[in-house]
């Protein structure tokens, strides 16, 4: 079977970039992204490419090449499904907030709703591809929903194959990850369907990087990859805290252990703890699955990765308060970076949210600057509007948005770097310190600034993982 039309349900951080690259590499395939969120679809269709709903380096160029040619964005879900040979499910799968498994299990309501819509609208033979990250054995649920639609007599000619094709892109590097992936993973038991998907990826991915597994291995591999990556971050953050206590330097330790080819140098940067929409939810999902299958020790083991991460986030605000003479009430603190990592406008699970909330709770006045996150998003994440003006020695903290670094540091007692934006490596510390109140502090929670230059300019510096 050769695929000529693709529909992707969910035009978010994964669906958007993934389908844009697929359309770019497969000009013979018509790719339609559908979403319930009309505002998001309008932004994908905006003539001004700086208004795309997802910021990713290189994404606007890819969209500019394909949009209107073989890449389309629409809210007309039914028609796009009916026309598709292959439907990707790329909807959100957040952690359940209530009911059975609340706080750990994945909320599968969007995946079920989209599977039902495919069941109702598909025509002929349709390959349904799980692109969302899902608990192992979700394909079984999708298959049941799809086959139920085949039971009715008017739908006799409808047939489906379900594949798992999890996405490994990281935000901020999505386009290069998609264009040159370490591997593409395809799980399934229908060889023809797998071949059809392999044919698509083969346009730009070499065959040895396209891995085939059974459905369950594919689904579980995605959760496992995220769990292992997150585990490295919790491990290095635990060691970073020990470095601070002992005089060791976490960057030196990371370099030393990363030189071991069995460990490798990546994912060894200490920081404020991992954020992003995936790691926490996927590990909690793994914990839930382990418990579901009666594997309490395994569940407990993975839970520790998340617990360590929460502890790391909480200790940052505490140490800022303690260095600033035990109180930040009424003090202006410049927060540089709010996104969960550099090169994205995404703030989901950003460590900055919890750290800022803790500081607000202590009565601080925060001046927040992020190159890509605007004040509306910050207000939504902090659960409070920006202050019209700076408050005095109030019990309640407040925050304002700062257009640039120099605005943020005006009159501040401290600069707190929470995201590793490359701009923050090149700050003019002499100009900054001239605007701050003394003694002026730099808390570099990412280890990205020129700490020596900051010290030379007269700042007191706390660097994550530096003893």
Name the site residues for ligand UDX (rule: CB under 6 A): 167-171, 226, 229, 233, 267-269, 271, 274-276, 278-279, 340-341
400 binds, among ligand NAD, ligand UDX, none (CB under 5 to 8 A by kind): none
CB of 273 to ligand UDX, least distance (A): 7
Stretch that binds ligand NAD, among 89-97, 155-163, 264-272, 288-296 (CB under 6 A): 89-97
The correct pick among 7, 26, 91, 253 for binding ligand NAD (CB under 6 A) is 91
Nearer to ligand NAD, 233 or 364 (CB): 233
Q: Is 280 in the site for ligand NAD (CB under 6 A)?
A: no
11 binds, among ligand NAD, ligand UDX, none (CB under 5 to 8 A by kind): ligand NAD
CB of 300 to ligand UDX, least distance (A): 22
Nearest C-alpha neighbor of 93 from the set 227, 274, 282? 282
229 binds, among ligand NAD, ligand UDX, none (CB under 5 to 8 A by kind): ligand UDX
In the chain, what is the straight-line distance between the N-terminal and C-terminal CA atoms, in Å?
60
The correct pick among 1, 36, 242, 298 for binding ligand NAD (CB under 6 A) is 36
Gap between the Cα atoms of 133 and 278, Å rounded: 9
396, 417 in Cβ contact below 8 A? Answer: no
Q: Is 344 in the site for ligand NAD (CB under 6 A)?
A: no
Stretch that binds ligand NAD, among 87-95, 238-246, 248-256, 287-295 (CB under 6 A): 87-95
121 binds, among ligand NAD, ligand UDX, none (CB under 5 to 8 A by kind): none
Q: Is 401 in the site for ligand NAD (CB under 6 A)?
A: no
Nearest 5°: phi and psi at 203?
-60, -30
Nearest 5°: phi and psi at 10?
110, 105
Residues in the chain: 467
405, 337 in Cβ contact below 8 A? Answer: no
CB of 142 to ligand NAD, least distance (A): 13
The correct pick among 34, 145, 355, 412 for binding ligand NAD (CB under 6 A) is 34
- Catalytic choice (243, 278, 290, 356): 278
Nearer to ligand UDX, 341 or 369 (CB): 341
Q: Is 119 in the site for ligand NAD (CB under 6 A)?
A: no
Q: Is 93 in the site for ligand NAD (CB under 6 A)?
A: yes
Q: Mark 150-169 with x for binding to ligand NAD (rule: CB under 6 A) and - for no binding.
A: -----------------x-x
Two tokens at 201? 């990826």
The correct pick among 133, 161, 164, 400 for binding ligand NAD (CB under 6 A) is 133
Asked about 278 being catalytic, the answer comes back as yes
Nearer to ligand UDX, 238 or 295 (CB): 238
The residue whose Cβ lies closest to ligand UDX is 276
Nearer to ligand UDX, 226 or 377 (CB): 226
Q: Is 114 in the site for ligand NAD (CB under 6 A)?
A: yes
Q: Is 363 in the site for ligand NAD (CB under 6 A)?
A: no
Q: Mark 66-85 with x for binding to ligand NAD (rule: CB under 6 A) and - for no binding.
A: -----------x--------
- SS3 readout for the chain: CCCCEEEEECCCCCHHHHHHHHHHHCCCCEEEEECCCHHHHHHHCCCCHHHCCCCCCCHHHHHHHHECCCEEEECCHHHHHHHCCEEEECCCCCECCCCCCCCCCECCHHHHHHHHHHHHHCCCEEEEEECCCCCCCHHHHHHHHHHHHHHCHHHCCCEEEEEECCCCCCCCCHHHHHHCCCCEEEECCCHHHHHHHHHHHCCCCCHHHEEEECHHHHHHHHHHHHHHHHHHHHHHHHHHHHHHHHCCEHHHHHHHHHCCCCCCCCCCCCCCCCCCCCHHHHHHHHHHHHHHCCCHHHHHHHHHHHHHHHHHHHHHHHHHHHHCCCCCCCCEEEEECCCCCCCCCCCCCCHHHHHHHHHHHCCCEEEEECCCCCHHHHHHHHCCCCCCCCCCCCCCCEEEECCCHHHHHCCCCEEEECCCCHHHHHCCHHHHHHHCCCCCEEEECCCCCCHHHHHHCCCEEEECCEC
Q: Is 10 in the site for ligand NAD (CB under 6 A)?
A: yes
101 binds, among ligand NAD, ligand UDX, none (CB under 5 to 8 A by kind): none
Nearer to ligand NAD, 36 or 241 (CB): 36
Q: Is 277 in the site for ligand NAD (CB under 6 A)?
A: yes
364, 329 in Cβ contact below 8 A? Answer: yes
CB of 226 to ligand UDX, least distance (A): 6
197, 129 in Cβ contact below 8 A? Answer: yes
274 binds, among ligand NAD, ligand UDX, none (CB under 5 to 8 A by kind): ligand UDX
Binding site for ligand NAD (CB under 6 A): 9-15, 34-37, 40, 77, 90-93, 110, 113-114, 132-133, 167, 169, 171, 277-278
Q: Which residues are catalytic?
A: 278
């Amino acid at each position: 079977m050769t695929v000529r039309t693709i529909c992707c349900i969910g035009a978010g951080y994964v669906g958007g970039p993934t389908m844009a690259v697929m359309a770019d590499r497969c000009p013979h395939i018509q790719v339609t992204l559908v979403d319930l969120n009309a505002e998001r679809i309008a932004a994908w269709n905006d003539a001004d490419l700086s208004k795309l709903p997802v910021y990713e380096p290189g994404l606007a160029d890819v969209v500019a090449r394909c949009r209107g040619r073989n890449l389309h964005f629409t809210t007309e879900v039914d028609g796009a499904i009916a026309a598709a040979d292959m439907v990707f499910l790329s909807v959100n799968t957040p952690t359940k907030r209530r009911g059975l498994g609340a706080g750990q299990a994945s909320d599968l309501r969007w995946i079920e709703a989209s599977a039902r819509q495919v069941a109702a609208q598909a025509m002929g033979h349709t390959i349904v591809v799980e692109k969302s990250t899902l608990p192992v054995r979700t394909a079984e649920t999708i298959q049941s929903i799809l086959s139920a639609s085949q039971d009715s007599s008017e739908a006799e000619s409808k047939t489906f194959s379900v594949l798992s094709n999890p996405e490994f892109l990281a935000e901020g590097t999505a386009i290069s990850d998609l264009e040159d992936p370490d591997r593409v993973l395809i799980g399934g038991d229908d060889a023809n369907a797998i071949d059809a998907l392999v044919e698509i990826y083969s346009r730009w991915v070499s065959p040895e990087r396209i891995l085939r597994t059974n459905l369950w291995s594919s689904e579980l591999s995605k959760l496992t990859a995220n769990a292992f990556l997150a585990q490295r971050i919790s491990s290095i953050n635990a060691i970073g805290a020990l470095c601070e206590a002992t005089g060791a330097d976490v960057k030196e330790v990371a370099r030393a252990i990363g030189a071991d080819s069995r460990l490798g140098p990546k994912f060894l940067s200490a920081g404020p703890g991992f954020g992003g929409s995936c790691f926490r939810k996927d590990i909690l999902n793994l914990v839930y699955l382990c418990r579901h299958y009666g594997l309490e020790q395994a569940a407990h083991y993975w839970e520790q990765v998340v617990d360590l991460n929460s502890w790391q986030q909480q200790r940052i605000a505490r140490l800022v308060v303690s260095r600033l003479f035990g109180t930040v009430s009424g003090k202006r603190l410049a927060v540089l970076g709010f996104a969960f990592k550099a090169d994205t406008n995404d703030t989901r699970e950003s460590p900055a949210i919890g750290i800022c909330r803790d500081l607000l709770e202590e009565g601080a006045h925060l001046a927040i600057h992020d190159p890509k996150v605007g004040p509306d998003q910050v207000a939504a994440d902090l659960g409070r509007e920006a202050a019209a003006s700076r408050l005095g020695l109030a019990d309640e903290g407040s925050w304002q948005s700062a257009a640039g670094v120099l605005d943020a540091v005006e009159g501040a007692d401290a600069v707190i770097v929470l995201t590793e934006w490359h701009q923050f490596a090149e700050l003019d510390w002499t100009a900054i310190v001239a605007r701050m109140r003394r003694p002026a502090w730099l808390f570099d929670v990412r280890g990205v600034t020129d700490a020596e230059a900051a010290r030379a300019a007269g700042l007191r510096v706390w660097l994550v993982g530096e003893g």
